Amino acid sequence: MGTFDIQILGIGSIPSPLNLNEVQGDQVFTYVSDDQRILLDTSLKRYQKAKDHDEPPLSLERAGPREKIYFNPDETSAAIVTCGGLCPGVNNVIRSVVMGLHYFYGVKRILGIPYGYEGFIPSFGHDFVDLTPEHVKDIHEFGGTILGSSRGGQSVEAMADTIERENINLIFAIGGDGTLKGAREIGAELLQRGANAVVAGIPKTIDNDINLMERSFGYETAFNVANPIIRDAHNEARGAYNGISIIKLMGRDSGFIAASAALSMPVVNFVLIPEMDFSLRGDQGFLQCLKDRLDNRKHAVIVVAEGAGQNLFEGAEKQKDASGNVLHNDIGLLLKSKVDEYFKSIGYRVTIKYLDPSYIIRSAPANANDSIFASRLAHHAVHGAMAGKTNFVVGLINGRFAYFPISTVANQRQKIDLNGDLWFSVLQSTGQPFVMK
């Protein structure tokens, strides 16, 4: 299986306290074994190619409870850390990890690490939080994270020192690309030291850009919250002669939120995402396409992802945040300025409204479906960690939960395929040209 093997501290020898079995059809969930695999690609073409080369198709270890676990619950301590930007569902994950550890396995010492990875560093002066079922029982009703968050790398050695000093065995890292890279480094350091500790990642990115996975929690809530905002922006545009509404949504490197929000509220006429190139000027450029729309319908709604159109900022210096992510220039404000400038230059009267609801969206509590999804991710992370698995991320692939090696998901971001069905659906819904250059 090669690159998709999951590292493990050792073979589990402790009977699981879950009291499941391996009998099929008795209405009791059965334990999952390590040899149960989920195909990465279910296409017949990929399967046939592997068969022709006498190779097993690429697959991932199925997530779920094991009959034998590695850690003795009575002697096990856990820690939960949340990093990066806010995202709907983080508190749901925290709650479900705590409840799963406490009620499924009987782990009583569960620490909350405040303000991201810096909470592991004593010099910051952050005190650990004792996470009990009573402490977390209502947190799923609120957005944000009760533990706080931060960006920026910390000393891996210093974090590992704290983990060993505090006798922490299970580390649950909730975060996106940067967080998972940090988790990978912490896990590698702990393995090198021979520490009795594992690292489990729970992927958090509102942009839905985790490599290989079908979806990430918070993404559905994001476009669900954006839906009525787009509706109201449409009403604003329609209420003015040649009214234009521009809504900037999250999507630093991938345009999934913008695409899905537009499909969920099909009044959008243009969707601009990081994956596509477009020009402002020219006979087929965006501004001319916008004018054609106004000529015909007298209003237009534009949804733009925050990472779109960065090529339009000629000579702008690229800066990075504390986590090393490129800070994009504000495409929403540039677009508003260029649209206003263009129509004034041709003596064409327009009314422009600009909305940026990003911080409202990312701070919202999870909707019902994301709440379910976050909880299931958390439970599978607990099962994997208690079985002694490390340097893994739990995620959904082909409708099943699986364990992914962190290295396979933290090395690149998932993007919209401009030749794929999702983008074609967006083009059909909006009526925008395939190319605007």
**What sign does the dihedral 382-387-392-397 (CA atoms) show?**
negative
CA angle 74, 117, 371 (to 5 degrees): 70
Kindly tell me if the per-residue pLDDT of 120 is higher than 80. yes
Residue 329: exposed, middle, or buried by beta-carbon count in 10 A (0-12, 13-18, 19+)? middle
Kindly tell me if the per-residue pLDDT of 385 is higher than 50. yes
Distances (CA, A) of 327 to 11, 191, 240, 301: 44, 34, 34, 26
Helix crossing, 256-264 with 219-238: angle to 10°?
Answer: 60
Q: 2-216+366-409 sits in which CATH class? A: alpha beta
Query: Nearest CA to 261 among 218, 233, 224, 288?
Result: 224
Structure tokens belonging to residue 180 = 């998972």
Q: How far apart are CA 75 and CA 65, in angstroms?
A: 19
Structure tokens belonging to residue 199 = 């690292």
Name 49's Cβ contacts closer than 8 Å, sequence gap at least 6: none
Do the domains 2-216+366-409 and 219-361 sit in the same CATH topology, yes or no?
Answer: yes
Structure tokens belonging to residue 71 = 């850690």
pLDDT, tens only, 124-154: 999 999 999 999 999 999 999 999 999 877 9
Q: What is the mean pLDDT of residues 81-107?
A: 97
pLDDT, tens only, 348-378: 999 999 999 998 999 999 999 999 999 999 9
Q: What is the mean pLDDT of residues 288-303?
A: 98
Question: 């995202």: which residue's tokens?
Answer: 87
Q: What is the greatest pairwise CA distance in the chain?
A: 78
Provide the H-helix boundaries in 265-413. 286-297, 331-345, 358-362, 368-386, 406-409
Count of CB atoms within 10 A of residue 228's CB? 10
- At 321 the pLDDT is 56
pLDDT, tens only, 251-281: 999 999 999 999 999 999 999 999 999 999 9
pLDDT, tens only, 196-255: 999 999 999 899 998 889 999 999 999 999 999 999 999 999 999 999 999 999 999 999
Q: What amino acid positions are annotated as catalytic residues?
A: 207
Q: How far apart are CA 260 and CA 273, in angstroms?
A: 12
pLDDT, greater one: 72 or 29: 72
High-pLDDT (> 70) share of the chain, %: 95
Determine the CATH number of domain 219-361. 3.40.50.460
Kindly tell me if the per-residue pLDDT of 338 is higher than 70. yes
Contact between residue 153 and residue 117 where contact means Cβ atoms under 8 Å apart: yes
- At 1 the pLDDT is 41
Q: What is the DSSP letter of 172?
A: E
Q: How far apart are CA 193 and CA 297, in angstroms?
A: 66
Kindly tell me if the per-residue pLDDT of 327 is higher than 70. no
Q: How far apart are CA 291 and CA 346, in angstroms?
A: 11
What is residue 262's three-state secondary structure? helix
User: DSSP string spanning 31-42?
Assistant: PPPTT-EEES--
Q: Which residue(s) pair with 69 in the sheet?
A: 14
- At 323 the pLDDT is 52
What is residue 213's three-state secondary structure? coil
Helices (H) and strands (E) in the chain, counts: 13, 19
Count of CB atoms within 10 A of residue 13's CB? 10
Contact between residue 297 and residue 240 where contact means Cβ atoms under 8 Å apart: no
Q: End-to-end CA distance of the chain: give it in Å, rounded.
A: 44
Give the start-to-end residue ranges of the domains of the chain.
2-216+366-409, 219-361
Structure tokens belonging to residue 415 = 């993007």
Distances (CA, A) of 122 to 150, 161, 163: 15, 10, 11
Q: What is the mean pLDDT of residues 19-32?
A: 82
